[in-house]
Amino acid sequence: MAREVLVIDDEADIRDLVAGILGDEGYATRTAGNADEAFAAIDARLPSLVILDIWLQGSRMDGLEILDKIKRAHPDMPVVMISGHGTIETAVGAIKRGAYDFIEKPFKADRLLLLVQRAIEAAQLKRENRALKARSQLDDEMVGRSSAMNAVRAMLEKSAPMGSRVMIMGPPGAGKEVAARLLHRMSRRAEGPFAVINAATMAPERMEAELFGVEAAASADGQARVGLFEEAHGGTLFLDEVAEMPLETQAKILRVLVDQTFERVGGRSRVQVDVRVVSASSRDLLSEIAGGRFREDLFHRLSVVPIRVPRLADRREDIPDLCAHFIARISQSNGIPPRAISNEAMAVMQAYEWPGNVRQLRNVCERLLILATDDAEEAISADMLPAEVGGSGPATLRADGGEVIMALPLREAREAFERDYLLAQVARFGNNISRTAAFIGMERSALHRKLKSLGIAVNDRGQNGI
């Protein structure tokens, strides 16, 4: 979150002094002189931290009462108390009631800055910890050096610093969220939060509360809830499977994008935020628009920069790197020894279609590593692969495909075999004829002739020496 501090003190001198010290260090600040001003400021937008005086003259609530109310509505908000003479005991009591720490008047600027920095860091760590737990399945690295993935990376690099809205399209499990996280990390908002909402897994009736938050008065348990738009202030909000959003929610999101403000559920005042919205969809949004299920105006707002993450079957050259990456991660986090994958097993994996894309590959790696009980020194062989992967090769290459071959005369059987074999090899090397030729032991030009004679058309990616 952008580091913003709310200073609540009845003395204007102290407010200005604290705000000045923090402002010099690059913090944004707002000030309030009493309880009403304080809550109005918190309602307008949640700050990163509150500095709160214990004695507040002329306020309908004192510092401790304000602390209690803040902590009830926003348990994670760090609050630093300011105590004067004779209020140290009260300040210690405030810590028991949830304050982060206190600072005694008169205070030194250094101590104030240190406390503020630590309190914000601690709150951020808490948030990150929770987010980490929630997504232990995800990792942030975007692996893959195929030309298709290099093109995706180049687009992300180019658009990251611009702050423009990006729409990431691609089939399920292809790595759209990984791409969105990389975009955030490369952007100027990298220090800010990355909030995610997945419209496919969320009940439509909960969507608005989740996105915009709920005022205490409108929530079932009387507690205000901060929405993701507010949580993502100063950072990025990732709208995953955006096509699944109900049309009413789409209309509300459009309004936020137009005026950068919104209303919480049950609220009347508008909350102002600075959020970069990145969205993703595995559906074809143009046909969703044609079918009246997705707003065209929202599409144009969200898709300023469209980026397509290709399916794994279109970048099979990435499979060895991805496997090595997953095996290293999975063995590390489960405390099991890593294993190599034999050439033969890798060839089968590279010939497979991977309908579940990278997510499915990751699951297969996990299964291979956890279920393989044999000698860890031994490479994973093709017969250890799950049936759906191992049994999917070209029919003529499978043991059970033998019957088809056996019904053919030798010349046709050989052709059928050659076609299947070469199709699988060419796909495996990402349509790179030079690398395919080197692997199968043929001259490049001879392989070209062979493919032509078998009627296989290949868009050779290796012609430019790639």
Ligand X SMILES: Nc1ncnc2c1ncn2[C@@H]1O[C@H](COP(=O)(O)OP(=O)(O)OP(=O)(O)O)[C@@H](O)[C@H]1O
d(CA 435, CA 450): 15
* Minimum CB distance to ligand X, residue 428 (Å): 18
138 in contact with ligand X (CB under 6 A): yes
Residue closer to ligand X by CB (options 25, 128) is: 128
Judged by CB under 6 A, which stretch of 6-14, 82-90, 141-149, 432-440 contacts ligand X? 141-149
Judged by CB under 6 A, which stretch of 102-110, 175-183, 335-343, 383-391 contacts ligand X? 175-183
d(CA 316, CA 314): 6
Residue closer to ligand X by CB (options 177, 288) is: 177
* Minimum CB distance to ligand X, residue 238 (Å): 9
CA dihedral 181, 186, 189, 192 (to 10 degrees): 50
199 in contact with ligand X (CB under 6 A): no
Tell me the number of residues near ligand X by CB under 6 A: 22
Residue closer to ligand X by CB (options 64, 364) is: 364
Position among 177, 210, 244, 317 found at the interface with ligand X (CB under 6 A) = 177
8 in contact with ligand X (CB under 6 A): no
Judged by CB under 6 A, which stretch of 77-85, 172-180, 247-255, 406-414 contacts ligand X? 172-180
Which positions from 333 through 392 interact with ligand X, judged by CB under 6 A?
Answer: 358-359, 362
136 in contact with ligand X (CB under 6 A): no
Position among 230, 231, 240, 317 found at the interface with ligand X (CB under 6 A) = 240
Asked if 120 contacts 3 with a C-beta cutoff of 8 angstroms, the reply is yes
Residue closer to ligand X by CB (options 42, 346) is: 346
Residue at shortest CB range from ligand X: 175
* Minimum CB distance to ligand X, residue 319 (Å): 11
Judged by CB under 6 A, which stretch of 39-47, 142-150, 206-214, 433-441 contacts ligand X? 142-150
d(CA 431, CA 396): 21
192 in contact with ligand X (CB under 6 A): no
d(CA 314, CA 91): 62
Which positions from 143 through 162 interact with ligand X, judged by CB under 6 A?
Answer: 143-144
d(CA 381, CA 345): 5
Asked if 324 contacts 330 with a C-beta cutoff of 8 angstroms, the reply is no
* Minimum CB distance to ligand X, residue 141 (Å): 5
244 in contact with ligand X (CB under 6 A): no
Which residues are paired to 169 by β-bridges? 281, 308
Judged by CB under 6 A, which stretch of 49-57, 101-109, 132-140, 229-237 contacts ligand X? 132-140
Which positions from 276 through 335 interact with ligand X, judged by CB under 6 A?
Answer: 280, 282, 325
d(CA 358, CA 383): 21
Residue closer to ligand X by CB (options 174, 214) is: 174
Residue closer to ligand X by CB (options 95, 138) is: 138
Concatenated DSSP letters for 228-268? HHHHTTTSEEEEETGGGS-HHHHHHHHHHHHHSEEE-BT--
Q: How many CB atoms within 10 Å of residue 61?
A: 16
| Nearest CA among 211, 352, 344, 200 for reference residue 281 | 200
Concatenated DSSP letters for 326-387? HHHHHHHHHT-----B-HHHHHHHHHS--TTHHHHHHHHHHHHHHH--S-TTSPBPGGGS-H
HEC letters along 350-367: HHCCCCCHHHHHHHHHHH
d(CA 195, CA 185): 13
Asked if 357 contacts 312 with a C-beta cutoff of 8 angstroms, the reply is yes
25 in contact with ligand X (CB under 6 A): no
Residue closer to ligand X by CB (options 200, 254) is: 200
195 in contact with ligand X (CB under 6 A): no
Asked if 21 contacts 9 with a C-beta cutoff of 8 angstroms, the reply is no
* Minimum CB distance to ligand X, residue 218 (Å): 30
| Nearest CA among 27, 23, 21, 72 for reference residue 49 | 27
Residues contributing to the site for ligand X (CB under 6 A): 137-139, 141-144, 170, 172-178, 240, 280, 282, 325, 358-359, 362
